[in-house]
Amino acid sequence: MIIMINDTISAISTAFGKGAISIIRLSGDDAIAITNKLFKGKNLSTVKSHTITYGHIFDGENQIDEVLVSVFKKPNTFTKEDVVEINCHGGIYVANKILELTLKNGARAADGGEFTKRAYLNGRIDLTQAESIMDIIEAKSDLSLSLANKGLDGDIYKLIINLREDLLNIIANIEVNIDYPEYDDVEMLSNDIIKPKVMDLINKIEKIIHKSNYGKIIREGINTAIIGRPNVGKSSLLNALLREDKAIVTDVKGTTRDTVEGSINLGGIILNLMDTAGIRESTDLVEKIGINKSKEAIKKADLILFVVNNNEELSNEDQLLLDLTNNKNRIVIINKIDLDNKLKSNFKNEIKVSALNKSGILDLENKIKEMFLDGSINEKDQTYVSNARHIARLHDTLSSLHESLQAINDEMPIDMAEIDLKSAWYSLGEIIGETKTTSLLDEMFSKFCLGK
């Protein structure tokens, strides 16, 4: 979808529901004129930019609400268009009524994220900054908020711009050689000038991608599946970690028949917990559905908390689950240490707890932080990339650079290496929106809330 950038859009920009105030936001050439039709007070077209004016909103002769209207005149606004914000009382009916009046008088209902989309299309922000706005809204910890603010400040943009400039310098060297072959020896250009620079870029991007694992953890948290055979204390462990009785705990096998979820904050990192149904052979249809969901959770998890009983020897079911999770990040939780010890254990990443008595839980939390944070997260570091789209494009860039390096090593014509270098340059451009498609923009901004 291509938006009409010259029309005027309107939306409620505050959360839906009752509150102290609600804000109806308009942006576009007619934002002030449309509001003037509803507003009784000063003529808004004559007020100074970035000022607030007191008055009332009317529907014909009927007064709707007492309001404060903020006027922001282009180009010094978020969208670089004229923007009006009507601050009304926070009733559901009142806000919707004022929105309805703006639409009747010439505005169009804004799509999700369209204000931010206009800010991007009008050159106010780049694509990474637009995405960082959503990250700020969705931030769940101090670290994730800090990371999002760095994106909004333009740190990701600067990082990508510098990488593109390095690439452009290499491409320029090749172009000069192609256009003026008498000035450079082709073999010397490839091996002595181009190859080291390509290798240096590969090393830089590999380091960024490696750090992206930390960035993704900061942004999205650690998806953690609690697994084990029935009745080993998975639900008790979930409750102990959450510090609340969220999952039902009984002595009856198969009590948990679906995944139960919750989140905790571990030193600024969010742990997204899933208590899964016990995995065993079952003829119960509902329990079998839960078991299949558990297996899917294992595939998607960043971390497995595998629970076994301290007061029982390792069973065949336990061993099958150990084999099933062998290639995953895993901590083996030996539960029920308050009971007699019958389990012979020597597992890697082993923690002993009593989920019922909540002992050993702090040791478990410290182990998780040790495994994933590794003391390596530095929130002042400006090279963290956490957005899945950005990471995918960096992988594309790295693949193109390797192809270019291969062409150089195979002593192919230098313009063959240049093709892959240009492909890498375009992939980096997609991150900041320099090489954009309408479908990409529509999909990305559709994830925003209305009015943002």
Ranges 344-348, 383-387, 428-432: which has the least confidence: 383-387
CA-based torsion, 50, 52, 53, 58: positive or negative: positive
Q: How confident is the model at residue 78 (pLDDT cuts 50, 70, 90)?
A: very high
Q: Calculate the average pLDDT of the chain.
A: 81
Q: How confident is the model at residue 2 (pLDDT cuts 50, 70, 90)?
A: very low
The full set of domains in the chain, from first to last, is 9-126 (3.30.1360.120), 139-218+387-432 (1.20.120.430), 221-372 (3.40.50.300)
Residue 387 has pLDDT above 90, yes or no: no
CB atoms closer than 10 angstroms to residue 53 = 18
Residue 247 has pLDDT above 50, yes or no: no
pLDDT at 286: 46
Q: What is the Cα–Cα distance from 47 to 51, expressed in whole angstroms? A: 7
Q: What share of the chain is helix, strand, coil (3-state, %, to 5)?
A: 45, 20, 35
Q: What is the Cα–Cα distance from 179 to 238, expressed in whole angstroms? A: 66
Residue 254 has pLDDT above 50, yes or no: no
Fill in the DSSP letter of residue 16: S
- pLDDT by residue (tens digit) across 290-344? 456 667 778 788 899 999 898 888 888 888 888 888 888 899 999 999 888 888 8
Put simply, whether the predicted model's pTM sits higher than 0.75 gets the answer no
Ranges 4-18, 236-250, 352-366, 417-431: which has the least confidence: 236-250
Paired residues of 272 in beta bridges: 223, 263
- pLDDT by residue (tens digit) across 22-42? 999 999 999 999 999 999 999
- Is there a contact between 195 and 405 (Cβ–Cβ < 8 Å)? yes
- pLDDT by residue (tens digit) across 158-171? 999 999 999 988 88
The two structure tokens encoding residue 292: 């299949």
Q: How confident is the model at residue 69 (pLDDT cuts 50, 70, 90)?
A: very high
pLDDT at 381: 55
Q: Of residues 110 and 131, which shows the higher confidence score?
A: 110
DSSP 266-308: ETTEEEEEEE-PPPS----HHHHHHHHHHHHHHHH-SEEEEEE
Q: Is the peptide bond between 75 and the residue preceding it cis, with omega within 30 degrees of 0? A: yes
**Burial call 349-370: b when 16+ CB within 10 Å, e when fewer:** eebbbbbbeeebbeebbeebbe
Amino acid present at 181: P
**Burial call 422-444: b when 16+ CB within 10 Å, e when fewer:** bbbbbbbbbbbbeeeeeeebeeb
